[in-house]
Amino acid sequence: MKQDYYEVLGISKGATAAEIKKAYRKKAIEFHPDKNPGDSSAEEMFKKAAEAYEILGNEDKRAKYDRFGHQAFDGGGGFGGGGMNMDDIFSQFGDIFGGGFGGGGFSGFGGGGGQRRVKGSNLRIRVSLTLEEIANGTEKKIKVKRKVQAAGTTYKTCTTCNGSGQVTRITNTILGRMQTASPCNVCGGAGQIIDQKPDDADAQGLKVQEETVSIKIPAGVEDGMQLKVTSKGNDAPGNGIPGDLLVAIEEKPHASLQREGDNLHYDLYISYSEAALGASREIDTVTGKVRIKVEEGVQSGKILRLRGKGISNLNGYGKGDLLVHVNVWTPKTLNKEQREFFEKMASDDNFKPNPEKSDKSFFEKVKDMFS
């Protein structure tokens, strides 16, 4: 189980944006690889803190995390939940340390992490799913237009930064010599520039190509969740790494089933006669039609629970149920003969309501449903 992001940063759920930033800054300094060379547990903490800040430091992502937990971001089903790499983390620092990170006693980007690599931009798509697809999980093949390195493009080392992707400047201050590093503005931090490229490629040697991407959707996803398919975003130029494909989940409404978490609800309408005599009816489920029996003498408002006929839980906690709500349909108009029949029954004691203890009230049934 993944550690709670608030715990990672050592803050409460109600922390303000400023408190979150401060807490992250503290952790980043404490566990920075330059301060803990060769210490893999410090590096792990450093990455964890960065991942936590990536989410909690963003209002939208934080709201999503508060609602859905970790699966809101890595899908819980093998969507590259490996967290952030060092490049992502260092690129986040400008925001936290106000640029010029590296002047404050660290040696700058990378440390032991080697050459900084540029990452391609992320792509975003929406995938619309039926309740049936969500219930059981599915695999979608989606056509995506992504930028790829055009055939025939070659790169050479950037002469401005000598391939390091950054330029460092030494300045003398009253505190001593300060070194500041910033991305090279000739190569954009890639360390490489274009040598040759075909005519149809853009300035970075990339061109748009349509590609079919296979996306595994785990069972139990919800509308508004986002899945990540690693490296299926746009390519970066040169030896950079591709961005990610972010997949937003949309749930199509179902004609007769309503979803509530992992449970499903179905409204069954039966006639007076069926309520009195009993009935056998076919209803929709996410795995096809199912025949159910309604006992004679059933009361309106009764809930039949079909165990395991709901949605598979996203975190693997089994399956929800299908709750069938029995509604007895009252005719809105009566002909003369029918009117006479009901008038006769009105004085029949057997037609007078006489609920027993076993005929639970509506509120008790609702209570039962959630127990």
CB of 186 to Zn ion, least distance (A): 5
CB of 165 to Zn ion, least distance (A): 6
Query: How far is Cα of residue 127 from the mean position of the Cα atoms in its chain?
Result: 12
CB nearer Zn ion, residue 115 or residue 273? 115
**137 dihedral zone (left: phi>0; alpha: psi -120 to 50; beta):** left
State the DSSP string of 42-69.
HHHHHHHHHHHHHHHTSHHHHHHHHHHT
**Binding site residues, Zn ion, CB under 5 A:** 158, 160-161, 184, 186-187
Answer for the pair 50, 294: CB distance below 8 angstroms, yes or no: no
CB of 106 to Zn ion, least distance (A): 21
CB nearer Zn ion, residue 183 or residue 218? 183
Dist CA 260 CA 320 (whole Å): 9
CB nearer Zn ion, residue 159 or residue 327? 159
CB of 115 to Zn ion, least distance (A): 12
Residue that has been written with the tokens 């967290």 in this structure: 83
CB of 177 to Zn ion, least distance (A): 23
CB nearer Zn ion, residue 161 or residue 247? 161
**CA distances (Å), origin 93, targets 160, 182, 247:** 23, 12, 26
CB nearer Zn ion, residue 189 or residue 310? 189
Dist CA 184 CA 52 (whole Å): 28
